[in-house]
Structure 1
């Protein structure tokens, strides 16, 4: 079984990877919108806006979670004691999922 230090470092690495992938997705979608002639099709604009919003939301959520993961990896203890952070993760995922479904 993996040690807790390895799990903590893996979580931090995956959070950083998610942030980088969302940023790359945001950059690619903006470049594609600027280059293509999708402006004439309404469906195309709406789908690009949806992906743009999802990437921006992913970046925001990753930026909120990253300091907590970094502190946990460096100090090997939680910044906030109790069940707040696991509940924040759970309900944050639910809110983000709801926002994606609404768009």
Structure 2
């Protein structure tokens, strides 16, 4: 079984990778839209807006979660005790992207 420190460091690394990959996808979508290589049909523009919103939401959510993960990795204890952060992780992963993208 993996040690607790290894799991905490893995969570931090995955949060950083998520932030980097979301930023890269956001940059690629913006460059694609600026270059004008998307179809001018409504469905093409709407799908690019959806992916753009998903990448922006992923960046925002990662930026919210990253300080908590960094504190947990350095101090090896949670910043906020109790069940708030695990519940925020669980429901944030479920609700945040869907509510952000239903505009």
Aligning the two structures, in what range does the TM-score lie when normalised by the shorter sequence? over 0.9
Deviation at 1:93, TM superposition (A): 1.4
In the alignment, the residues of structure 2 paired with residue 38 and residue 81 of structure 1 have an alpha-carbon distance, to the nearest angstrom, of 47
What residue is the counterpart of 1:23 in the other structure?
A: 23
In the alignment, the residues of structure 2 paired with residue 24 and residue 61 of structure 1 have an alpha-carbon distance, to the nearest angstrom, of 15
In the alignment, the residues of structure 1 paired with residue 98 and residue 56 of structure 2 have an alpha-carbon distance, to the nearest angstrom, of 15
Asked if the contact 2:72/2:78 (under 8 Å) is kept, the reply is yes
Structure 1 consecutive aligned stretches of length 4 or more whose deviation exceeds 4 Å: none
What residue is the counterpart of 1:12 in the other structure?
A: 12
Aligned residues: CA RMSD: 1.5
Deviations 1:30-88 (A, max 9, x none): 00011124362111110000000000000000000000000000000000001010011
In the alignment, the residues of structure 2 paired with residue 23 and residue 30 of structure 1 have an alpha-carbon distance, to the nearest angstrom, of 11
Gaps of 5+ in 2: none
Matches within 5 A, 1:49-60: 49-60=49-60
Gaps of 5+ in 1: none
Question: Larger deviation: 5-14 or 33-42?
Answer: 33-42
- TM-score when normalising by structure 2: 0.93
- TM-score when normalising by structure 1: 0.93
DSSP 3-state at the match of 1:77: coil
Matches within 5 A, 1:2-81: 2-38=2-38, 40-81=40-81
DSSP 3-state at the match of 1:12: helix
Asked if the contact 2:50/2:101 (under 8 Å) is kept, the reply is no
The count of aligned residue pairs is: 103
